[in-house]
Amino acid sequence: MAVLLTKIVVKWTLLLSYFVYISWASSELSEEPVGCSLRQFRCTNSKCIPLTWTCDGEKDCEDGSDENPKTCIKTAQKVLLTPAKASCAKNEFRCGNGRCIPARWQCDNEKDCNDGSDEDPHLCQQKVCGADEFTCRAAPGECVPLTWMCDDNPDCSDGSDEKSCNETCRSDEFTCGNGKCIQKKWICDADDDCGDNSDEENCPTVTCKKDTEFQCTDRYCISSNWRCDGDADCANGKDEQGCPKPTQTLSFCPSQEFGCSDRLTCIHRAWLCDGTKDCPDGGDESAAHCQNVTCRPDQFQCNDRSCIAGRLHCNGHPECADGSDEVNCGFLTPKCYQKTQFDCGGGNCIALAQVCDGKQDCPEGEDEPRDLCGKNECADNNGGCSQKCVDTPASYYCDCNQGYKLVDNKTCKDINECEIPGSCSQMCINDKGTFKCECQHGYMRDPRDLTRCKATEGHASLLFARRRDIRKISLDHHEMTSIVNETCSATALDFVFRTGMIFWSDVTDQKIYKAPIDEGSERSVVISNDITTTDGLAVDWIYNHIYWTDTGKNTIELANFEGQMRKVLIKDDLEEPRAIALNPIEGWMFWTDWGYDPKIERAGMDGSHRQTIVSFEVKWPNGLTLDLVKKRVYWVDAKLNTISSCDYNGRSRRVILFSPDTLRHPFSITTFEDWVYWTDWDKFAVFKANKFTGKDVQAVTATEMIQNPMVIHVYHPYRQPDGENHCQAVNGHCSHLCLPAPQINQNSPLISCACPEGLRMLSDGLTCVQDTDNVTTPYSVTHSDLTKQFQTHTDVETTSIPTKVVIESDDTSSGTIAIIVIVVTGIVFLLMSGLIYIVYRNYVHRNLTSMNFDNPVYRKTTEDQFSLEKNYPNTRVCPSTVGEEAQQPLTGANHHDIV
């Protein structure tokens, strides 16, 4: 018995000792400490650092616990004794020093292991490219997607993916002198479609009709009615030369707006003579309108009387067109560059080579200190520097390794490159002294620039409306084609990539159309009534709805792809809604409003949770687009001459590009990969720039096109990523409209039921019935607070039940008389209703041809018909607008309603 008890005591003692040892070892190694993640090391002062920073010879913990010799010896022994399979996961690569990195980082031309074992040339050269990849010729194992071949961007290190392409234009296309391809019908149309004007060379002379046409050039005619109308219709302005001074100025804008001389642009009257040129020709700032123009106290006035922000004065970059903001700025006391210069005091700098050379170069001889010349301060404790100590002839300075920065002239701190916008296209991983970029699914890092991500599938194109047509430009094959022709004034557009369908609005026809993108002539009308000026249009490619802004009615509306189930989503507190963009995956929509209280707003795609996200430093927000990868909003401001961005909540706001010269009158914007693309009315062209820095501004199309480029979109499958349609199953149990609900948090409902116009929601939040009062009551099944509100409107029975009239009277004759009175009154009511209906039908019939220009931003849109019939035979005839009616004076308080 005693022997048995002894054995039990020994076993428990050994087990207890083992647990004590394990606890001590865990505290020493701190591989899985409380408060730090599995991949972090916990310092003695509780600070967490990456586990890979331990035992690397640098003290990352202030107390140096990460370089404790005991800890490092145990860690090294563990790495040597632990099998490779146990130390790294299956999808990881084990470096020679035991560090684990993602397997995809191996052979990516970046050394992620400290010993470089992940880029071992013997292993990397054995890599075989896949069937959907191109094998670069110079570097063994270097692969790029086949879709990157012949895209005019060399991706292989030797550029072999762009060699032997020999691309030629189709037989129905014209080959420009610069290699671009355009449609043959664009030859000799007085429009530089090629960009090098090769399509307008050696063209025959056009003879204009003497009585009805005016000859701008030897190849372009306009209507004689346009001569001396105050609008330069010829590119050279010849039609307005030698004209008598007009005795009366015709207004084509609402009374609260100022009409520019291009008869196309309207601006707020508050912007007249404010020092900023808002009209394309600057007519709003001309001396004829402005007297003694002065700028605000916070602005600087240029010599041409224009105003710029005061913070831009003397900033080293000319912002005024004449450069007057950088004149007479004076000079600040320069700071000597300590790595190559010595400071004598008072801003006087000399070269380090002149220090301690036995000659006095500073006024007081500061460059020849006897007690410091020849002394090496770095020999004593490295000069107190945490990393590098650099000795100079009379002093020394501390420096840091690459990826670090000085924080107090002696201590180096790791630079978090991930906090710098544009360090990586998409995902960024910070590491000590460096950083790593990664791409989301469907994208791949550019071998020539590993911080950039490129799409691995598809070929991106640009779709943009150009009033008379809608064009597509291939971004990698230099090809421009027309996909929809003979439009009157195509303005806003969007597409459904999954079905290849394009939707667009025509502000002259006051309709919304759709057509297959490859068969633009097979168009059909989606919305044909009760719209005025649709500046913005967006497609919900998941739930199959279109959303649009109406600047004339000041509403945001939606309908399905067939134009049915139409609903006014937002109608209150809208002044001038313009651009609109959707994110159906998260259930949000965003739009701009350039009214007197300009702003950018967002709301759920069911109209709920409306809020303003941008309300300051915004004046004329025209175009707006979403970056679904980085989850940011981009917009252009035509008055502030800026491209800006923020996150979905309006935070982290940045100005990407400010340039009064480059951004003269931006109208629409879109983004893809690392670029933003925009249209400019003043320059009649499409441009692009880096979306992080605003640099590398380039013209995508030829400048000075005849027609203004309107709304623009990048056409690519990744602009419309796949998402789950939560309404697909039994329409979400909704009787009519099933809309995505905004995803505010993880508990947010996924869908919301709504009723089309003329219907109202029952208390169940699912069923719509006829609204007897003809008042639409929106309803969302996603918000309990709204449920109570709408339940108060559903107390009335929805079925048609005859009303029982009870007449209490002691006299039978009185009851009989009452019944007769009721019957007679009903007959009279029916007769009056019929008469009113006939009058209404007659009125509607007489006004079918009326046009409403509540927001006359696109005034001169359809009178170009005369010129088109001459220069473009067999084109569609569009109704005339202001230009032809302008022969008669427009009188009355409001000139923008023309019948």
pLDDT per position as a tens digit, 438-461: 899 889 888 888 899 999 888 899
Range with lowest mean pLDDT among 468-477, 623-632, 668-677: 468-477
**What sign results for the dihedral spanned by CA atoms 209, 213, 215, 221?**
negative
Place of tokens 């969007």: 494
Flag whether 13 is in a domain.
no
Contacts of residue 795, defined as CB under 8 A and 6 or more positions apart, other chains included, come to: none
C-alpha 622 chain-centroid distance: 12
Q: What are the two backbone dihedrals, phi and then psi, of residue 663, each rounded to the nearest 5 degrees?
A: -100, 75
Tens-place pLDDT, residues 130-142: 777 888 877 666 7
Q: Which of 723, 741, 768 is the last residue of a domain?
A: 723
Is residue 97 helix, strand or coil?
A: coil
What is the model's pLDDT at position 111? 78
Decide if 512 is inside a domain: yes
Q: Does residue 829 register a pLDDT over 90?
A: no
Asked which of 69, 89, 123 is the last residue of a domain, the reply is 69
Report if residue 86 sits inside a domain: no
Angle between helices 69-81 and 2-29 (to 10 degrees): 110
Q: What average pLDDT does range 168-196 have in this prediction?
A: 77
pLDDT of residue 818: 58
Which among 31, 54, 39 has a CA at the least distance from the CA of 101? 39
Q: Please indicate, yes or no, if residue 504 is contained in any of the structural domains.
A: yes
Tokens found for residue 502? 């394009």
Q: Per DSSP, which regions of 403-535 are E strands?
A: 404-406, 412-414, 427-431, 434-438, 443-446, 449-455, 461-465, 470-474, 479-484, 490-496, 501-506, 511-516, 524-527
Give the per-residue pLDDT at 415.
Answer: 87
Determine the distance from the C-alpha atom of residue 179 to the mean position of all C-alpha atoms in its chain, rounded to a whole number.
30
Alpha-carbon distance of 514 to 495, in angstroms, equals 9
Residue 29 predicted with pLDDT over 80: no
- CA 262, distance to chain mean position in Å, is 28
In a domain, 586, yes or no: yes
> pLDDT higher for 296 or 492?
492
- Phi, psi torsion values for 526, nearest 5 degrees: -95, -50
Please tell me the predicted confidence (pLDDT) of residue 786: 33
- Residue 420's pLDDT is 87
CB atoms within 10 A of CB 94: 19
Name residues whose C-beta falls within 8 Å of residue 438's C-beta, 6 or more positions apart in sequence: 424, 426, 427, 428, 429, 445
Task: Average the pLDDT over each of 82-86, 363-367, 436-440, 470-474 and give the range with the smallest value.
Answer: 82-86
Q: What is the pLDDT of residues 184-214, one digit of tens each?
A: 777 877 777 787 778 878 787 777 877 788 8
Number of structural domains the chain divides into = 2
> Is 794 domain-assigned?
no
Range in 361-365, 499-503, 737-741, 831-835 with the lowest mean pLDDT = 831-835
Lowest mean pLDDT among 227-241, 511-525, 598-612, 867-881: 867-881
Q: Which two tokens stand for residue 294?
A: 């002065």
Q: For 583-599, what is the mean pLDDT?
A: 94
- Last residue of a domain, which of 696, 723, 750? 723
CB–CB of 473/459 below 8 Å? no
CATH of the domain at 511: 2.120.10.30
754 domain-assigned:
no
> 11-15, 164-168, 300-304, 648-652: which has the highest mean pLDDT?
648-652
Is residue 270 over pLDDT 80?
Answer: no
* Cα–Cα nearest to 667, from 469, 514, 548, 491: 491
Buried b / exposed e across 638-659, counting CB within 10 Å, b at 16+?
bbbbbbbbbebebeeeeebbbe
Question: Cβ contacts of residue 667 below 8 Å, gap of 6+?
Answer: 622, 623, 636, 638, 678, 679, 680, 681, 708, 709, 710, 711
Whether residue 529 is contained in a domain is answered as yes
What is the spatial distance between Cα 660 and Cα 664, in angstroms, rounded to a whole number? 6
Residue 221 to residue 509: CA distance in whole angstroms:
25
Domain range enclosing 45: 38-69
Q: What is the CATH number of the domain that holds 51?
A: 4.10.400.10
Q: Which residue has the tokens 């995956």?
A: 585
Q: Quickly state the pLDDT bin for 79 (edges 50, 70, 90).
A: very low
Q: What is the mean pLDDT of the chain?
A: 77
Reading the block at residue 691, the tokens are 């979306």
